[in-house]
Structure 1
Amino acid sequence: MWSLGATYLEVFTQSTPWAVKAIHELHVLMAKQTPPHGLKHLDEQYKELTLLLSYQPAARPTASDVVAFFKSGLAPHLEARAPKKQQEGKRGPKDTYGCTQFQPGLPEGESEESMEARRKRLTDIYCRSGRQGEETAEVGQLMAATFYLQRRQLNAMPSPTIVNLKSQWPYLFSPKGLIGHFQLLTDMQVLSALEAAMEDCGNMIVDLFKTRPTNAAVKEVLNNHNHSEDLPYKVLKLVMAHFNEDVGGLIVQAEGCATVADMESSNLPVTPRLILLGESQEHHQRWMISMEGCVLCEGGRLGTFTTGLGTLFTTYYTFNLQYQDEAASTLEFVQRCLVGINPERGTKASGHKKRKAPSQVSSFLRKLMDFRYRVAISLFS
């Protein structure tokens, strides 16, 4: 029963029961009958399981008691964790797809208490300096140092609300915070990757569709083409048209004067969106990112469409999200072709798009490679 309790505690807190670095430290804690450190992270609905970790054997539930609890209360929560049962827009640690540090261990020389102290220091700086504090070296160092704790809270089940996460980690909710977290999580520099990919194949993609429009939707995008339009935005619209996915599956267009309050009162989608502010098709320097009906961050006046797209893309990894059906193939394309995350197996697409999206993207990439080859041959013929 004791081992079962320790296992449940680790499953539902995404952390080890005792925060120790060496086995002798655990022996000391056990001798003192110290309660597991992980208990303070356990959600109230699972508190009954803490009895399994009682130091008094007679106080522990029997196997029959555990089975009864499983049937009455625990089973629905375990079912909700399963990838096949997860509803669109719901968050949770379904897999480690594309991540190199999905849940890192406690850094050497650190403890749960020291991690929490660093987190509180971040919130103190935010209360004193607001968003401007993000530019200080101290905030950058603290955000990197507390990555372990950020991941543990993001991976917790049930998933914490966005409001709660914002209060705990205010500096995560900015383009810089999300992009920095994504880099630690995947070992990928998303903006550098997007910019390099656009320079390498952005115009090639546009030329491919001009030469061989693949459907009526692609032709419509080309016919409505604005020559001053930002290349990455043009590429995204063409790719979405090719996959028969509406631009609204990723992008919300709003008035240039719209505020965060305006957007949050406008019935935003549950799944992530890049909100472009203003009618200009040229640079889209002002944008926001939304998720679960809330605005996560703003791009300000110095942003670009590429920065907005990159920040949007990080949300699927940071918050353990699957790609929404209405943009799954496009996001799979961004992931594999533009960002360069190419796991041998799996996909973040779900439902009927789980097999369709990777297949569509592979087919398109073959067309692109063939077109690139033909262009290269023509230059030397």
Structure 2
Amino acid sequence: MKLTYTYQCHMMNTCRPPSISDLQEQWPFLFTKLWLCDHFNTLTGIQIDSRLTQALLNKGKRIVKFFKSQKTKWRREIQCLLNGIGGNIRCNDDLTFTAAILLLMTHFKEKDESLFLLADGRVVCGLDSESNFTAALSVLFSTFYVVNIEYQESASATLELIKMFLVRINPERTKCTAKAGVSRNTGKVVQRKPLPINPRYTLSH
């Protein structure tokens, strides 16, 4: 895969990019976690699995703690989510990480099915039975960069925050930022203004 990295990039960045089916046929190993994340590492210089694991261990817990500390100030949807989380996440990192992402999506008024799917059909990139939430998120996030596609509008705010706050990718150099997003005020899709950094994510690292 390392020897064919240049050819993969050339194929995915042509004027008429290939379909996912064509990519799977041409580069089947690219649709496994190992080689997808390896391609992402070659592209960005970031070990996505370890970067997200460390970030979620520290910042994921901080996100959940922040929302819990101001529970009464949040709107009903976030309060219901916090009630559902309860004390079940104290000794379960996977639940903590999942809760952090769900809280962010709810805060940005993005529907959880934009990122979380119950797969009952064709799965593009499978994970082994020992994989956890971080592994799944690593594959999801890497795919945007490896296949060179924009974030979907329905989850763009959460993905932007993951990019800058958790993965720590320079926002001025990324190519995956969505041109539109969901307005927190109206819940409708609106066009984004081109900014070097989104003011909503000026969180301290």
Same fold by TM-score greater than 0.5? yes
Q: 1:155, CA displacement in angstroms?
A: 1.0
Q: Distance in 2 between matches of 1:212 and 1:340?
A: 26
Instruction: Spell out, residue by residue over 1:114-139, the C-alpha distance to the aligned partner (whole angstroms, 9 max, x if none).
Output: xxxxxxxxxxxxxxxxxxxxxxxxxx
Alignment-derived partner of residue 216 in structure 1: 76
Alignment-derived partner of residue 184 in structure 2: none
Alignment-derived partner of residue 54 in structure 1: none
Alignment-derived partner of residue 21 in structure 1: none
The AA in structure 2 aligned to 1:225 is I
* 1:349 and 1:357 in contact (8 A); partners too: no
CA RMSD, Structure 1 to Structure 2 (Å): 2.3
* 2:172 and 2:196 in contact (8 A); partners too: no
SS in 2 for 1:299: coil
Q: TM-score, normalised by structure 1?
A: 0.46
Tell me which of 311, 314, 318 is aligned to 2:146.
Answer: 318
The AA in structure 2 aligned to 1:156 is T
Alignment-derived partner of residue 169 in structure 1: 27
The AA in structure 2 aligned to 1:355 is K
Q: 1:160, CA displacement in angstroms?
A: 1.0
The AA in structure 1 aligned to 2:83 is N
Alignment-derived partner of residue 186 in structure 2: none
Q: Distance in 2 between matches of 1:179 and 1:345?
A: 19
Residue identity over aligned pairs, in percent, reads 32
1:350 aligns with 2:193: no
Higher fraction of helix: 1
SS in 2 for 1:159: coil
Q: More relative contact order in 1 or in 2 (CA 8 Å, sep 6+)? A: 2
SS in 1 for 2:125: strand
Q: 1:353, CA displacement in angstroms?
A: 5.0
Q: 1:358, CA displacement in angstroms?
A: 8.2
Q: 1:224 to 1:355 in 2, by over 3 A?
A: farther
> What residue ranges of structure 2 are gaps of 5+ in the alignment?
181-189
Q: Distance in 2 between matches of 1:358 and 1:234?
A: 29
Which runs of structure 1 show a deviation greater than 6 angstroms over 4 or more consecutive aligned residues?
Answer: 356-359
- Greater shift in the superposed pair: 146-155 or 207-216: 207-216
Tell me which of 164, 172, 186 is aligned to 1:336.
Answer: 164
Instruction: Spell out, residue by residue over 1:240-277, the C-alpha distance to the aligned partner (whole angstroms, 9 max, x if none).
Output: 011111111111125xxxxxxx413xxxxxxxxxxxxx
Q: 1:199, CA displacement in angstroms?
A: 2.0
Alignment-derived partner of residue 58 in structure 2: 200
1:363 aligns with 2:200: yes
The AA in structure 2 aligned to 1:363 is R
The AA in structure 1 aligned to 2:163 is Q
Q: 1:336, CA displacement in angstroms?
A: 0.4
Q: After superposition, where does 1:135-284 map in structure 2 within 5 Å?
A: 143-213=1-71, 214-225=74-85, 227-228=88-89, 230-254=95-119, 262-264=120-122
> What residue ranges of structure 1 are gaps of 5+ in the alignment?
1-142, 255-261, 265-294, 373-381
Q: Distance in 2 between matches of 1:357 and 1:217?
A: 29
SS in 1 for 2:118: strand
* 1:329 and 1:353 in contact (8 A); partners too: no
Q: 1:365, CA displacement in angstroms?
A: 4.1
* 2:61 and 2:97 in contact (8 A); partners too: no
Instruction: Spell out, residue by residue over 1:61-80, the C-alpha distance to the aligned partner (whole angstroms, 9 max, x if none).
Output: xxxxxxxxxxxxxxxxxxxx
Q: Distance in 2 between matches of 1:357 and 1:201?
A: 24
Q: 1:164, CA displacement in angstroms?
A: 1.5
* 1:322 and 1:349 in contact (8 A); partners too: yes
Q: Distance in 2 between matches of 1:356 and 1:206?
A: 30
SS in 2 for 1:321: coil
